[in-house]
């Protein structure tokens, strides 16, 4: 009852928030006409993958691709919780149908499950919606969690986490990233657990191998070392830009802010005292000059392909919003610097332990990390580590091949 009340209140708050917040507005409008857009399945076997946002989609995509290859006649349903994931992926999704997951009420869950009648359901990483999982289970679906990662302070393992713990017991099998996650699940009585690793390693290495040349950036990079600031927020930029202005970072720089609205871009421009150019203007024909010190990627969808020109990367979000993808630059051999709040991201500590990542908490520690990576050429070490982490997709798929689907 408390869970359902919380979901009801959440729905009301999102509708109120939609009056003032653009992301909340997209969340509400994206679900407004959902029921009228649901496709006719035509008796096909539905396999449902649910992702919170873009990062979880990247974790799930290797499994989706492998499943599609093994079972080409199956209907792949892909759902998102967040607008930032749905809007970026919807038009290029591997799914036969891609949509928002309805608000997790019992009524919505019953209607959604009744329409699609999924036979297997995959929820990626942290996403767990109790009503949709319960109804799917009651409807005969097999439930799986992919690339899950758990910490001791997760609500599932707290005295007040009974409802959330029960949700974990709905899964037929849980594929986790590490030994700690398996141990925590075993301690509460869940034994159907396999340590598979993180499928994102498979995804980023696959993308890196297929990356094409960026015709705008390549001539400017011209085999020089490039420092890449990816998915940055103002807290990140306030630390880094002074070192760019003082030429303590002597290499060329690419800044790719997480938010590319005009206000944020203008804020970055106002701080820079060196020559810079905007990527959107380069797309319109402006010449990228060799003496330009900084290129600002003021649009989305380019960052992943320009990491290939980098030597060192800084990845933002580690000062409060949540660390962004540090695997993407590492897939090209770049060591990574990031902010101090990374306890929810196990890959960050793994990078630190393997000396290919460093955490910074202020200006001096950032620059110390930068100088350290500048001194030690780590490309081969980074790539060797990334290769060693591949294989999660194969481990997951072996489970289904062994059980014949």
Q: Which residues are identified as catalytic?
A: 56
Angle, CA 390 vertex, CA 387 and CA 393 arms, to 5°: 160
Q: Provide Rg for the chain, Cα atoms.
A: 22
361 contacts 337 by C-beta, under 8 angstroms: no
Interatomic CA distance for residues 395 and 77, integer angstroms: 22
In 3D, which of 36, 33, 52, 20 has the Cα closest to residue 148? Answer: 52
Q: Is residue 121 within 8 Å of residue 60, measured between CB atoms?
A: no
Which of helix, strand or coil describes residue 121? strand
Cα–Cα–Cα angle for 10, 14, 18, rounded to 5 degrees: 175
State the residue for tokens 């009228």.
Answer: 36
Record the tokens describing residue 336, joined without a space. 């990574």
| Beta-ladder partners of 145 | 123, 174
H helices within 18-53, ranges in order?
22-32, 34-37
């Amino acid at each position: 009852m408390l869970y359902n009340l919380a979901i009801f209140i959440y729905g009301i708050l999102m509708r109120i928030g939609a009056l003032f917040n653009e992301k909340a507005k997209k969340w509400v409008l994206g679900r407004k006409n959902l029921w009228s857009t649901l496709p006719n399945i035509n008796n096909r076997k539905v396999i449902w993958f649910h992702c919170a946002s873009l990062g979880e989609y990247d974790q799930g995509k290797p499994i989706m691709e492998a499943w599609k290859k093994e079972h080409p006649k199956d209907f792949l349903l892909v759902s998102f919780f967040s607008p930032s994931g749905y809007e970026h992926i919807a038009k290029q999704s591997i799914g036969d149908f891609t949509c928002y997951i309805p608000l997790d009420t019992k009524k919505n869950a019953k209607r959604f499950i009744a329409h699609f009648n999924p036979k297997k359901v995959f929820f990626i990483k942290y996403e767990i919606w109790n009503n949709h999982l319960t109804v799917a289970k009651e409807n005969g679906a097999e439930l799986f969690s992919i690339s899950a990662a758990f910490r001791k302070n997760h609500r599932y393992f707290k005295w007040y986490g009974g409802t959330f713990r029960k949700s974990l017991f709905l899964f037929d099998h849980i594929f986790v990233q590490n030994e700690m996650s398996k141990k925590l699940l075993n301690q509460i009585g869940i034994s159907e657990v396999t340590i598979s690793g993180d499928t994102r390693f498979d995804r980023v290495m696959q993308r890196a191998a297929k990356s094409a040349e960026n015709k705008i950036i390549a001539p400017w990079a011209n085999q020089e070392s490039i420092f890449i600031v990816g998915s940055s927020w103002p807290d990140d930029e306030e630390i880094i830009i002074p070192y760019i202005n003082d030429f303590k970072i002597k290499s060329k720089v690419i800044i790719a802010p997480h938010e590319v609205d005009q206000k944020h871009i203008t804020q970055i421009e106002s701080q820079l005292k060196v020559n810079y150019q905007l990527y959107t203007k380069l797309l319109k024909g402006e010449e990228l000059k060799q003496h330009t010190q900084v290129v600002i990627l003021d649009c989305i969808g380019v960052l992943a392909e320009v990491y290939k020109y980098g030597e060192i990367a800084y990845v933002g979000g580690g000062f409060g919003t949540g660390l962004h993808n540090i695997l993407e630059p590492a897939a090209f051999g770049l060591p990574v610097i990031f902010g101090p709040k990374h306890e929810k991201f196990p890959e960050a500590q793994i990078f630190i332990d393997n000396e290919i990542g460093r955490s910074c908490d202020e200006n001096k520690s950032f620059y110390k990390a930068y100088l350290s990576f500048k001194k030690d050429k780590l490309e081969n070490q980074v790539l060797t580590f990334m290769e060693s982490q591949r294989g999660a997709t194969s481990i997951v798929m072996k489970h289904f091949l062994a059980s014949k689907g």
